[in-house]
Amino acid sequence: MAELVEFRDDITGGHIERTQAYIKIMLDAMREHGIYEDEYSGWDFDLVLQSSQLHDIGKIAIKDGILQKPGKLTDDEYAQIKEHAFFGGSVIDRIKEYTTEQSFLEYTKIFAISHHEKWDGSGYPCGLKGADIPLLGRLMAFADVYDALVSERPYKNAYPHKEAVGIIMAAKGTHFDPLLTDLFLAVSDDFEQVYAMQG
C-alpha cells in the first residue's frame, strides 16, 4: 500500500522511506532523553515504524491532476489536497472492518489523520492544538516538513539543510511542539545524513 501511494505521487520518490528513518531518529532520541514517557508507554515501536510508511495513504483518494500537478496549486486544489489527512483516517477505518489485528492500523490512522496538525491549532483536518495532537502526529510533522523542505519540487528548489532546520526552529511553538523542536535540533545532523544517503 505504501508503494501504491508513492507510485501515484511520483514527485516524492523516497519520501516514505526517509520519513520512516526520521521517525526512528526522533523516537530513539525521545526514549534516550525520557521525553513524553507517559505518552509512548505501551507502544510497539516496531509497529509504529512500520505504520509510519502509510501516513500519506489518504492521497490515493486525490485526483491525479492535482496530486501530480507540475506547478503551484490553486487555493481550491490545495483545499482538496488537505483532504488527504481525513481520507487517510477513513481508509484505515474501512480496512479495520476486515481485520482482527488492530494495533498496526491504529498507529497508521493516527499518523494519517494528525500529521498536518499544528501546535497552535492552525493545522488540519481537525484544528487540534498543543498536547491534544497525538504524539505520533507531532513527531511526523518534523519528518514530513523537513523532507519536503530539503527535496526539490516542480514548483520550488530544495532548501539547504541548515536553512530547512532554521525554518523548522522558527516555527517552534506555532507549527511544532516546543519540546520536540529542541530534540529535533539535537538530532538534525542525523536527518541530513538520511537524506544524503536516500535522497
Point out the residues that are catalytic: 59
Grid cell 518534523 — which residue?
142
Which residues lie closer than 8 Å to 149 by C-beta, 6 or more apart?
158, 159, 163, 164, 167, 168
Q: Which three cell numbers stand for residue 185?
A: 535540533
The Cα diameter of the chain in Å comes to: 45
Q: Cα separation of 165 and 167, whole Å?
A: 5
Question: What is the distance between the alpha carbons of residues 110 and 92, in angstroms, rounded to a whole number?
Answer: 10
How far is the C-alpha of 131 from the C-alpha of 194, rounded, in Å? 28
Q: How is residue 199 annotated by DSSP?
A: -
Residues in the chain: 199
Task: Say if residues 113 and 125 touch (Cβ distance below 8 Å).
Answer: yes
